Chains A and B, each alone.
Chain A
Amino acid sequence: MDAEESTRPYVDIVRERQQRYVKDLIRENETLRTMAATLESDFRRLQAEVLDARSALEQREEGLRRRLSEIEAENRRYAERYAEIERQSGDLANLYVASYQLNSTVERAQVLTSIKEIVINLIGSENFGVFERESETGDLHLATSFGIDTDAFATLTPGETRRDELMTSGALFVADPNEPFPGLLASIPLNLDGELIGVIAIFGLLAHKPALESVDLELFDLLAAHASRALYCANLHAARVAERSVPA
């Protein structure tokens, strides 16, 4: 404490110090307020940046999610298309196999076996008969069969029953699944040059096959065309062999 100060009243000294202290506080307060304002502005700027970034990310995520669902849908479409092509390829293979088997021999027994195999293994029936038509009377004679009473079906005369009428009509008959025809599921005419030479009659399907499918109808068409020719050729061949075996 200097001399002057020592002479001043104590109260003045304290007041002066207090004023200095208050000024310092005000200055410091001002500095802090400026810093707080700066921080607040930085915070708001950063908050806005975060919001922008989040919004951009959300948009990007939404875009990626949309693309993912598009790719998934595309993938499903391709998988369905692949399955469809695979199925069609299988159906075509079946048609080829059936055609090949029917045309690979002129032996009557082999032709009949091929027809049986096609009906059992490709159509899925174990209740059917293959009939040949006698041109003079129009009667149908059972040539081979599977799972039916051969005596009951040995000879069918046209017009005797509605079923026999359908079978001898020369037209393809497929029973309506909604209105099943009793005792006959399908009748496939074997026509050659417009003349009915035989019939494949299907009376039922395997237990685990609920109904005929589109490929079965194509097989019916194929059988109608190829089985008739194969059977006719086989009969011609058999007649020729028999002719040759008769001693001159």
Chain B
Amino acid sequence: MNRRTILLVDDSPTILMMEKFALAKCGYELLTAVNGEEAIEWAVARTPDLILLDVVMPKMGGLEACRRLRALPETAHIPILMVTTRGEPESVEAGWGSGCNDYITKPIDTMELLLKVRSLMAVSEQETA
């Protein structure tokens, strides 16, 4: 059986490293990108099972990347977990509006991250089954 793949997208090496630490032990294959453009390239090329997408990034931010991923037929179905420093309702609303499936706020709580990733992976598995 193929390993489940997660695309981690963040311009912060600190966050990428932290996410890798949290998720690598669960056996996922992890891909990384540092902005929205790179994220779309990886998503089209590898069709990951889940994308963790930071909101504020150079070149192309997470909200725009999310909208574009939803518009592409080959990536439209991929669950997207938005990672944001903003927990205010309007920021969360903007995330939902862009088409993300769920969101998590920084600083990231590892347990919360693992729960959300497992839950989105389970939904994705059910849909593909």
Where the two chains meet, the residues of A that have a C-beta atom closer than 8 Å to any C-beta of B are 83, 86-87, 89-91, 93-94, 96-98, 100-101, 114, 117-118, 120-124, 126, 206-209
User: Does B107 have its Cβ within 8 Å of any Cβ on chain A?
Assistant: yes
User: Does B88 have its Cβ within 8 Å of any Cβ on chain A?
Assistant: yes
Given contacts A93-B110, A97-B17, A121-B14, 18 further A-B contacts (CB under 8 A): A86-B110, A87-B110, A91-B110, A93-B18, A93-B22, A96-B21, A97-B14, A97-B21, A117-B12, A117-B13, A120-B12, A120-B85, A121-B18, A122-B18, A206-B86, A206-B87, A208-B88, A209-B107
Task: Say yes or no: A90-B106 contact (C-beta < 8 A), given A97-B14, A121-B12.
Answer: no
Q: Which residues of B contact A124 (CB under 8 A)?
A: 85, 106-107
Contact check, A208 vs B18: say whether CB atoms are below 8 A apart. no
Q: Which residues of A contact B111 (CB under 8 A)?
A: 83, 86-87, 90
Q: Which residues of A contact B108 (CB under 8 A)?
A: 121
User: What is the CB-to-nearest-CB distance from A169 to chain B, in angstroms, rounded to a whole number?
Assistant: 27
Q: State A124–B83 Cα separation when bound (angstroms).
A: 13
Q: Which residues of A contact B88 (CB under 8 A)?
A: 207-208
Task: Say yes or no: A208-B105 contact (C-beta < 8 A), given A86-B110, A93-B110, A126-B85.
Answer: yes
User: What is the CB-to-nearest-CB distance from B114 to chain A, in angstroms, rounded to a whole number?
Assistant: 7
Q: Considering the complex, which residues of chain B in the window 44-94 have a beta carbon less than 8 Å from any beta carbon of chain A?
A: 85-88
User: Does B33 have its Cβ within 8 Å of any Cβ on chain A?
Assistant: no
Nearest residue, chain B, Cβ from A93? B21
Contact check, A101 vs B13: say whether CB atoms are below 8 A apart. yes
Contact check, B14 vs A90: say whether CB atoms are below 8 A apart. no
Contact check, B22 vs A90: say whether CB atoms are below 8 A apart. yes
Type the 1/0 row for B108-124, where 1 means its CB is closer than 8 Å to any CB of A. 11110010000000000
User: What is the CB-to-nearest-CB distance from B123 to chain A, in angstroms, rounded to a whole number?
Assistant: 22
